[in-house]
Amino acid sequence: MAAVRMLWMGLVLLGLLGFPQTPAQDLDPVQPNFQQDKFLGRWYSAGLASNSSWFREKKAEMSMCRTVVAPSTDGGLNLTSTFLRKKQCETKTMLLQPMAVSGHYTYHSPHWGSKHIVSVVETNYNEYALLFSRGTKGRGQDFRMATLYSRTQTVKNELKEKFINFSNAQGLTEEDIVFLPQPDMCIQE
């Protein structure tokens, strides 16, 4: 009987103090009923926003890249991006591993040695997608990045405005945002 009383006391204390935070409670919202198969295919990175000092220093040099989203063997996504760097086309692939909630993925950055949670916050699948990434970089530095993907290289002003509002809602300011120009090469078919 004492064990049952202790169990109930423990449950009452957890209720009063709040349950311990789990990673699922810290996740950003995602597109309702996210359908990964509709998200696959070619996208263009039309806008970026980040609180990273490296990003702020380099954003004037950045340009639009083409990203092909394909399913990975573990149920996640391979994002293969082709972009212009030092007047050469480069291709890199990121593996987004699936989480328990559809539309949430984890990404391990080999360059920074950090782990990020990537969320597909909003998409209509055939025109645009808003993604948000968060994690830590270096010595515990908070890292946040918003991305505007477009199915075409030309982005409507309404989508640019939507991206600015979305970025601001994530705590990113006007100086953190860039709309990427189309380079002369690398993003063509």
pLDDT category, 3, cuts 50, 70, 90? very low
Average of per-residue pLDDT across 74-87: 91
Whole-prediction pTM: 0.82
| Rounded CA separation 130/54 (Å) | 22
Query: Please, where are the H alpha helices in the chain?
Result: 2-17, 36-39, 53-58, 157-169
Active-site residues: which are they? 65
Whether residue 17 is contained in a domain is answered as: no
In a domain, 89, yes or no: yes
Task: Specify if 146 maps to a domain.
Answer: yes
Residues 13-69: pLDDT tens digits? 223 333 233 334 467 889 999 999 999 999 999 999 999 888 888 888 899 999 999
CATH number for the domain that contains residue 98: 2.40.128.20
- Residue 115 is assigned to a structural domain of this protein: yes
Q: Is residue 1 pLDDT above 50, yes or no?
A: no
In degrees and rounded to multiples of 5, residue 54 shows phi and psi of -60, -45
> What's the pLDDT tens digit per position in 132-169?
999 876 666 788 999 999 999 999 999 999 999 999 99
CA angle 74, 76, 79 (to 5 degrees): 125
Tally of domains within the chain: 1
Residue 13 lies in a domain: no
pLDDT for 31: 95
Mean pLDDT of 79-106: 93
Q: What is the pLDDT at residue 120?
A: 97
Return the pLDDT at 26.
Answer: 65
Domain extent for 131: 43-179
